[in-house]
Structure 1
Amino acid sequence: MRDGLLPAALKGLREGALRVDAATPASRDRAVDALRAFAILGVVLGHWLVTALVADGGALHAASPLQHMPWLAPISWVFQTLAVFFLVGGQVATRSHASARARGTSYGRWLRGRLSRLFRPVIAVVVLWTVAATALLLLDAPLDTVRTLVKLALSPLWFLLVFAVLTAATPLVARLNPLWPLAVVLHVDLLRFGLGGAPSWLGWVNLAAGWLVPYTLGAAWTRGELDGRRAGLMLFAGGAAATAALVAWAGYPASMVGVPGEPVSNLNPPTLAAVTFGLAQCGLALLLRDRLRRALRRPLAWAAVAVVNLSAMTIFLWHQTALMATTAVGLPAGRLPGLHTVPDDLAWVVARLGWLPVFALALAVCWTAFRSHEQGIRRAAPRPSRVIRRHRPRRSASKAARGA
């Protein structure tokens, strides 16, 4: 009997994938969903690889392998994928707003629908960590430990706030040339790093302007202005060359994520190097569209992408909690390599790679517990009433049965 379980499971998986494939409208651009899924998973894996919670006595403090091994900076080039998410976000929001206007839907109603998809899953995270932080303080946990844990757990929220602001501004920025926000980032960095004497708050202007660049590229994608390969090639080559020049000759950090102890972070707030790097990523994403569309004609591949997209915010919001839960559960066993130890050598990297499946399992538990906060937003299709079914002709019912 056990020998038949695996073939039955594979058959069920294949049939489920076929149903998902059949239910997908032919007009849907599957490459958009694939790019969103890759962007979310890139951020998750990046955080799991470069975030360490080091056990020091009875306290935990955050550290990064990039702090001790700066030559690992290329890892951040692979997994810092936020620009791709903003590219897709701009494309989807612009298209959605245009469709809503064509249907006569008001801006307010459209915006409420968009933002509810973002912020409804946030409630569970905030409530759980409010309770957890209060409990830890009542149990006399070190204040620095509580601060570190809460900061990591709630760090994804800054991204959602920026994304929400850009979504709200979609009607105003949908036709904005990306060169304008790029020019803002350039001038802010000139004042910060070139001329000196600029107030510290000035850099935070780039928090909106920097991510507005890929967002407006997404709007241009919707308008059909980036359909050819030339646009993707220019963005990729130009962005990569500009980033290399900024790192090599202008003193920008090589890491595209923040490194503890470093005076400048490319991400907090975004620098010109982070924005040009994002242009290169967007160019690569545009170049991969046709290949992704062909690959996602396969039902199993498309079903996997669809599942990630259905739970994108749940995965994004809970992945740091999964890491911290694993770290906490392992504490009674002592300082486990790759989990509680200082990330200062390759042995830590190898050990951390071994922990990734455990983090994924913990995230699966979080997904099972909290996915309804995201997926509950999607209303189920209304089921036909018994009266309608009662008066439906028998011939039609039999045809429907055969069709199913």
Structure 2
Amino acid sequence: MASLSELAARTPASRDRYIDFLRVASLGGVIVGHFMMAVLVIGDDGSFSFTNILEVEPWTRWMTLVLQVMPIFFAVGGFSHAVALRSLRARGGGYADFVSERIGRLVRPALAFITVWAVVAIVVDLTTDGDAQAGAVLQIAGQLVWFIGIYLIAASLAPLMLRAHERWGMAALAALGLAVVAVDVARLAFDVPFVMWLNFAFVWLAVHQLGFFYADGAADRVGPRRLGGTMLVLGCVALAALVGLGPYGIAMVSFGGEELSNLTPPTVALLAFAVAQQGALLMVRDPLRRWLDRPRAWKGVIAAGSVAMTAYLWHFTALILVLAGQYLLGIGPEGGTGAWWLLKLVELVPFALLLVALIALFRRFERAPRRAGVVGPSAARAAVAAAGVVCAIVGMLGFAVVGFRGLATGYVGNLAGLPMPSWAPIVLVGASAMLTALAALPRGSVAVSDSPATVARDD
């Protein structure tokens, strides 16, 4: 394996290092945010429960304007998907190749995480006989996977959305924005049932679309400070109006007890925030690019980027272990007090050490297998790949409601009105891994029939 210095030296001048930095920073922000928000409540009888500092201390909700970094990841994803899709077109690749290269890299490390936690959950479930408190921990342990499911919606539709962008440009983005507004109006003004869930797609697809414009060089043509300043002002004005005059709150992260969440499902307020955030990032792009030209800084980004998804997947595990130690020691200061903030600073050390250990143990699953070439366009392969993506999306979202709870004793959650048994997400993600791999197998090995007239030759 090449050293960091060798990888840094091989970096082509055309590579946008700022994108790599933002990808790492966004996932790092999620990890730090989750650590800072978690509050362990220990009852007088020895029972425990979890809450969120946003629920305990209203002033901390303003911090989400800094800590909410999901839009960064989606915008960066739009850039990366545009670059990957155009490269695949030039090489004669098809949808199955795209799914294997871009979506498989998320499913593979997630499947390793799910497998380990499934074994742990079964053992815990059997030894505690379905204890409610143990079940709550197991449910929380798997809930962070929902983010991958939402991201996969944007990733799976990237080929279609890129073509819409190339044909209609700003009109495609405007249509998504209008769809977000229409959903919020139908939901809040007319109480239309279930329509709110559409904004999981419309909001994140709109943010994802911003990455296409960046890939096209919009910031360079207009000027990053000029374009960024315009986006920042427009986004801030829209957000201020929505929060000040409308029903939306300032928190960009969900918490218990809020009247209207801006995140689950996303709202037009979150979209306005995303526009302002992307504008702010454009305004600081050039100085950060100069910093990333330094060898030490760039090697740090390379190192972090190589384990970013592993860190994201396993940081909840490190957090649970830290909170378990806190519970065993009987330390439970009230959330938001000076003692609690001091405890958070102290716990940051074991949290970081545990996370590093977990990364070292599981980072191998983040490495993508080598592929000799592309399999090319094929309706049959595309159908298999699409089926795999649907399994992954539904499975990942299923973890949001069941986690790993009740795998041995039985537990059924509810996903947008649909029953979700605890074992179903595991089966779906496993099926996704098999289907996406099958779709991209080289010809002669795959069990899917290809039409010679529609398949490009392999390089």
Please say if residues 199 and 265 of structure 2, whose CA atoms lie closer than 8 Å, have aligned partners that are also in contact.
yes
RMSD: 2.1
Matched, 1:77 2:70: no
Matched, 1:41 2:28: yes
Matched, 1:109 2:104: no
- What residue ranges of structure 2 are gaps of 5+ in the alignment? 373-459
Map of 1:237 onto structure 2: 233
For residues 145 and 256 of structure 1, what CA distance do their matches in structure 2 show?
28
Q: CA deviation at 1:17?
A: 5.2
Map of 1:64 onto structure 2: 52
Map of 2:452 onto structure 1: none
Please say if residues 59 and 144 of structure 1, whose CA atoms lie closer than 8 Å, have aligned partners that are also in contact.
no
1:180 pairs with 162, 175, 183, which one? 175
Q: Amino acid of the residue matched to residue 53 of structure 2? A: P
Matched, 1:217 2:210: yes
TM-score by length of 2: 0.74
For residues 274 and 133 of structure 2, what CA distance do their matches in structure 1 show?
33
TM-score by length of 1: 0.84
CA-to-aligned-CA distance 1:43-76 (integer Å, 9 cap, x gap): 1111111122323345432201111210111221
For residues 119 and 84 of structure 2, what CA distance do their matches in structure 1 show?
37
1:197 pairs with 191, 202, 216, which one? 191
Please say if residues 109 and 310 of structure 2, whose CA atoms lie closer than 8 Å, have aligned partners that are also in contact.
yes
SS of match in other structure, 1:54: strand
Moved more, 351-360 or 80-89: 351-360
2:343 pairs with 333, 351, 354, which one? 351
Assess, with a 3 A threshold, how the Cα gap between structure 1 residues 155 and 188 changes in structure 2: closer, same or farther.
same
Map of 1:6 onto structure 2: none
Matched, 1:256 2:252: yes
Matched, 1:32 2:19: yes
Q: CA deviation at 1:378?
A: 5.2
Q: CA deviation at 1:360?
A: 1.1
Assess, with a 3 A threshold, how the Cα gap between structure 1 residues 378 and 307 changes in structure 2: closer, same or farther.
farther
For residues 369 and 355 of structure 2, what CA distance do their matches in structure 1 show?
22
Map of 1:314 onto structure 2: 310
Q: Amino acid of the residue matched to residue 238 of structure 2? A: A
Indicate the structure (1 or 2) with the bigger Cα radius of gyration: 1
Please say if residues 113 and 314 of structure 2, whose CA atoms lie closer than 8 Å, have aligned partners that are also in contact.
yes
Q: CA deviation at 1:209?
A: 0.7
Moved more, 19-28 or 266-275: 19-28
Matched, 1:54 2:41: yes
Assess, with a 3 A threshold, how the Cα gap between structure 1 residues 207 and 65 changes in structure 2: closer, same or farther.
same
SS of match in other structure, 1:183: helix
Please say if residues 62 and 148 of structure 1, whose CA atoms lie closer than 8 Å, have aligned partners that are also in contact.
no
Map of 1:365 onto structure 2: 357
For residues 85 and 59 of structure 2, what CA distance do their matches in structure 1 show?
44
Matched, 1:297 2:284: no
Please say if residues 232 and 287 of structure 1, whose CA atoms lie closer than 8 Å, have aligned partners that are also in contact.
yes
SS of match in other structure, 1:197: coil
Question: Sequence identity, in percent?
Answer: 34
Q: CA deviation at 1:274?
A: 1.2
Please say if residues 61 and 144 of structure 1, whose CA atoms lie closer than 8 Å, have aligned partners that are also in contact.
no
Q: CA deviation at 1:319?
A: 0.9
SS of match in other structure, 1:263: coil
Q: CA deviation at 1:318?
A: 0.8
Structural mapping, 1:159-178, within 5 Å: 159-174=147-162, 175=165, 177-178=172-173
Q: Amino acid of the residue matched to residue 345 of structure 1? A: T
SS of match in other structure, 1:178: helix
SS of match in other structure, 1:139: helix
Q: How many residues align?
A: 360
Assess, with a 3 A threshold, how the Cα gap between structure 1 residues 183 and 107 changes in structure 2: closer, same or farther.
same
Assess, with a 3 A threshold, how the Cα gap between structure 1 residues 169 and 18 changes in structure 2: closer, same or farther.
same
Please say if residues 63 and 342 of structure 1, whose CA atoms lie closer than 8 Å, have aligned partners that are also in contact.
no
